[in-house]
Amino acid sequence: MRKALIAGCAAVAIGAVAVTAVAQTPRNETFRMLELFGDVLAVVEQAYVVPVDNKKLIEAALGGMMTALDPHSAYLAPKGFDELRERTEGQYSGVGLTISSEAGLVKVISPMDGGPAARAGVQAGDVISVIDGASAAGLSVSDVSEKLRGAPGTSVAVTFLRDGSDPLEVTLTREVIKIESVTGRMEGEFGVIRISTFDDNTVRDLNRVIGELKTANPGIKGYVVDLRNNGGGLLSAAVGVSDAFLERGEIVSQRGRRPEQIDRWSAKPGDLTDGKPIVVLVNYGSASASEIVAGALKDHERATIVGLTSFGKGSVQTVIPLRGGQDGALSITTARYYTPSGRSIQKIGIEPDLEVSRSAAEARIVSRSSFVYSEAAYANSLDASIGASRRGAHTPQEAPGEDWPEDKDYQLERAFDVLRAGGDLAALAPAPAGIVVTPPNQQNAALAAE
């Protein structure tokens, strides 16, 4: 790099002579552009109005290079790499948000259960607009993450923007986020299993929770697996969770750049639920590992999927430490995920068997696809590779009316109805009074009339 800086200085001094030399000398385009990078850095170092931090500039350039590939490839500076390891181990200090960036805006993929942001009413799809009085426009995910994290007990003021609502201005007190990845409870004769993230502890915790539910309730009739607003996590955890409900068959495959780069994961005998009916709840905050589980159980007809089409993040990121992690790491997209039937998750998501919105407001968002936060909304997202695309704006099949009680979870209520019907949608009880039901052949027509 030192030679590049010297060459840059010479280019500034002699101008046209340097250009002529480049034009007359055949070079590999990659090396020519690397030299151009050195030239630009040298100009900035000498001519910018105030002194610059070259390390910060180079890290920003590395970050820009990776995000130009797709929304999920990233350069992680050493601090960011440490934070990533903390999250996958299940504990860190912050406000409890999974975030991503699109078109210069940082958006919430999902708030973490019980965290400061979730308690303040932050929702999937909210845009982070202002942090401690300073605009967040143009900041990277790493920049925003650094501003939101901090010592437990300290506070950060954040403004969130949401379609159709006034800005949400909240002061969040940072705390140690102890991610309890799996929790369980009984609702009548059914077990409800909430999986909030997929980390190193998820499979172990799932085994424990199911065991406790079965022991305390020998007559349990079925299970709801709630993956709503679960932004994903470790592939190994997603495979382990899927395996817990399957006796055999492929769970997921990932396919890389070359035809021979195919990896497959299959289930081993042993269904922890003893074949009881299962409903999986998803929404557009369900991403990545959540979609692997939902897709596997759907394709094997082991579960009925209820809710809204999931986020559509079907790409695989491999974390490659740089110099043992001393210089951070690259999180780079290396493959796509496919469900057992060969469907790509990428940009499409997992469509529910019974499409149900949680509220009338959520139904309005789905009816205007430009406001649905999904992988397909990214300008530079990886394509699906199979020629399919995500369903556009439409009126959901079922939606509660404006007077539906906010504290009553309509999606969960319908999940229980599906379990009572033994998973047979044809035998499903009619939607209760106050619910808007739109026949499939009228969904787009209903949208046009709005």
What is the DSSP annotation of 258-283?
STT-EEEEE--S--TTTT--EEEEE-
What's the mean pLDDT in 428-449? Answer: 69
Residues 406 and 296 in one domain: yes
* Chain segment 330-341, per-residue pLDDT in tens: 999 999 999 999
What is the pLDDT at residue 110? 79
What is the pLDDT at residue 308? 96
Q: At what angle do helices 235-245 and 202-216 cross, to 10 degrees?
A: 30
Catalytic annotation on 313?
yes
In the set 140, 288, 290, 310, the catalytic residue is 288
What's the mean pLDDT in 92-118? Answer: 83
What's the mean pLDDT in 283-309? Answer: 96
Model confidence at 238, pLDDT cuts 50, 70, 90, reads very high
- The secondary structure of 372-409 as a DSSP string is S-SGGG-TTPPP-SSS-----S---SEEE-TTS-TTS-
Residues 216 and 124 in one domain: no
pLDDT at 7 over 80: no
Separation of alpha carbons 411 and 358, rounded Å: 5
Domain boundary among 177, 194, 219: 177
pLDDT at 20 over 60: no
Q: What is the CATH number of the domain that holds 124?
A: 2.30.42.10
pLDDT at 158 over 90: yes
Summary mean pLDDT of the chain: 86
Model confidence at 348, pLDDT cuts 50, 70, 90, reads very high
Model confidence at 19, pLDDT cuts 50, 70, 90, reads very low
Residues 224 and 156 in one domain: no
What's the mean pLDDT in 228-257? Answer: 95
pLDDT at 265 over 70: yes
Catalytic annotation on 299?
yes
pLDDT at 450 over 60: no
- The secondary structure of 211-228 as a DSSP string is HHHHHH-TT--EEEEE-T
In a domain, 226, yes or no: yes
What is the pLDDT at residue 25? 46
266-272 — which CB contacts under 8 Å span 24+ positions?
Answer: 267/242, 267/243, 268/243, 270/243, 271/244, 271/245, 271/246, 271/247, 272/206, 272/207, 272/210, 272/211, 272/244, 272/245
The count of other CB atoms within 10 Å of the CB of residue 416 is 21
The answer for residues whose C-beta is within 8 angstroms of residue 222's C-beta and 6 or more apart is: 189, 190, 191, 276, 277, 278, 279, 419
pLDDT at 361 over 90: no
pLDDT at 414 over 70: yes
Give the HSE-up count for residue 389: Cα atoms under 13 Å, Cβ half-sphere.
6
Residues 207 and 351 in one domain: yes
Model confidence at 11, pLDDT cuts 50, 70, 90, reads very low
In a domain, 259, yes or no: yes
Model confidence at 10, pLDDT cuts 50, 70, 90, reads very low
Check residues 371 and 116 and name the one with the higher pLDDT. 116
pLDDT at 300 over 50: yes
In a domain, 38, yes or no: yes
* Chain segment 48-94, per-residue pLDDT in tens: 999 999 999 999 899 889 988 998 898 988 877 877 776 666 567 88
In the set 107, 298, 313, 347, the catalytic residue is 313
Model confidence at 45, pLDDT cuts 50, 70, 90, reads very high
Residues 24 and 172 in one domain: no
Residues 299 and 394 in one domain: yes
In a domain, 406, yes or no: yes
Residues 263 and 309 in one domain: yes
Residues 268 and 165 in one domain: no
What is the pLDDT at residue 179? 76
What is the pLDDT at residue 21? 40
Q: What is the CATH number of the domain that holds 243?
A: 3.90.226.10
Q: How far are the Cα atoms of 178, 233, 290, 369, 444 from residue 374, in angstroms, in the given order?
A: 27, 17, 14, 9, 20
Residues 333 and 414 in one domain: yes
Residues 210 and 353 in one domain: yes
In a domain, 73, yes or no: no
**150: buried, middle or exposed (CB in 10 Å: 19+, 13-18, 0-12)?**
middle
Please give the share of the chain, as a percent, with pLDDT higher than 90.
Answer: 55
Beta pairing partners, 155: 173
Residues 340 and 444 in one domain: yes
What's the mean pLDDT in 410-420? Answer: 96
How many domains does the chain fold into?
A: 3
Please give the share of the chain, as a percent, with pLDDT higher than 70.
Answer: 89
Type of residue found at 158: V
In the set 113, 205, 299, 417, the catalytic residue is 299
Domain boundary among 120, 144, 177: 177
Residues 303 and 209 in one domain: yes
Reading phi first (left if > 0) and then psi (alpha if -120 to 50, else beta), residue 35 is in: alpha
In a domain, 64, yes or no: no
In a domain, 80, yes or no: no
Find the domain containing 25 and state its range. Answer: 2-52
In a domain, 84, yes or no: no
Whether 181 contacts 197, CB under 8 Å: yes
What's the mean pLDDT in 308-323? Answer: 93
